[in-house]
Amino acid sequence: MAILGKKQIARFFPRIDSQVEFRYQLKGQPDFERAVSSDISCGGLRFTSDRFIPTSTPVALEINLLNRLLKPVGRIAWSAPLPHSYRNQMGIQFMEFDALERQYLEDFVDTQIS
């Protein structure tokens, strides 16, 4: 459960702490950037970057998960500067995901939780 203010909210997708390499491309940009997730779920992932990306920015992803390449499309759901740092922590919400790729990620998360 996550805490929002003083209320607890249940997460729709269970998340796991997992450092997964991925690449992301912002809409309208020609190049991909490399990053590593802090955690991941079937709903999205969290990562830290040297750059600020505004919320709602569309993002094409290439996630390397156990030598399988997943290519969901997402959006920046939230972004927050890290205290005493020039870095930003962000969450990407998956918006479009191939059904077989999503099932692969779900199976991965389930095996890590079990």
**Cβ partners under 8 Å of residue 34, min gap 6:** 21, 22, 23
- For residue 15, pLDDT beyond 60: yes
Partners of 88 in the beta sheet? 49, 81
- pTM comes to 0.85
pLDDT in tens, 48-85: 999 999 999 999 999 999 989 999 999 999 999 999 99
Partners of 7 in the beta sheet? 4
By CB atoms closer than 10 A (0-12, 13-18, 19+), residue 101 is: middle
Which domains does the chain carry?
14-113 (2.40.10.220)
The average confidence (pLDDT) of the chain is 88
By CB atoms closer than 10 A (0-12, 13-18, 19+), residue 7 is: exposed
Partners of 46 in the beta sheet? 39, 91
